[in-house]
Amino acid sequence: MKEKNKKYKKNCPTCGDDQLYANIYSFKTAVKLNKQCIRCCQIGKQCGEKNGFFGKKHSNESRKKMSNKLQGHTPWNKNKKSHQCGDNNAMTGKSVLYFLIKKHGEEKANEMWNDIQKKRSISQSGKNNPMYGKPAPQKSGNGWKGWYKGWFFRSLRELSYRLNIIEKYNIDWENAEKSKFRIQYKDQNSTDRTYSADFVLNGKYLVEIKPKKLMNSPKNQAKKEAAIKWCEQRGMKYKISDCHINKNQILSEYEKGNIKWQNEKYKKRILEYKNQAV
- Alpha-carbon distance of 94 to 96, in angstroms, equals 7
- Alpha-carbon distance of 274 to 277, in angstroms, equals 5
Q: Give DSSP secondary structure letters for 48-113.
A: GGGSTTTT----HHHHHHHHHHHTTPPPP-TTSPPTTSGGGSTTTT--HHHHHHHHH-HHHHHHHH
Closest alpha carbon to 174 in 206, 138, 137, 141: 206
pLDDT band at 149 (very low <50, low <70, confident <90, very high): very high
- Alpha-carbon distance of 236 to 40, in angstroms, equals 73
pLDDT band at 140 (very low <50, low <70, confident <90, very high): very low
Closest alpha carbon to 174 in 146, 197, 145: 197
pLDDT at 138 over 50: no
247-255 helix and 264-277 helix, angle to the nearest 10 degrees: 110
- Alpha-carbon distance of 136 to 223, in angstroms, equals 15
Q: Could you tell me what percent of the chain has a pLDDT over 70? A: 74
Q: Could you tell me what percent of the chain has a pLDDT over 90? A: 28
The residue extents of the domains of the chain are 2-50, 146-277
Enter the DSSP assignment of 127: G
Specify the CATH class of 146-277 in words: alpha beta
pLDDT (mean) for 214-237: 93
pLDDT band at 159 (very low <50, low <70, confident <90, very high): very high
pLDDT at 259 over 90: yes
What is the model's pLDDT at position 67?
77
Phi/psi for 199 (5° steps) reads -135, 150
- What is the C-alpha end-to-end distance of the chain, expressed in Å? 91
What is the model's pLDDT at position 40?
75
The two beta strands, 205-209 and 18-21, are unpaired
The beta strands (E) that lie in the chain are given as 8-11, 18-21, 146-148, 151-153, 173-175, 183-186, 192-195, 199-201, 205-209, 237-241, 259-261
Give the model confidence (pLDDT) of 42-89 as tens digits: 666 656 666 666 777 888 888 887 777 666 555 555 555 555 555 555
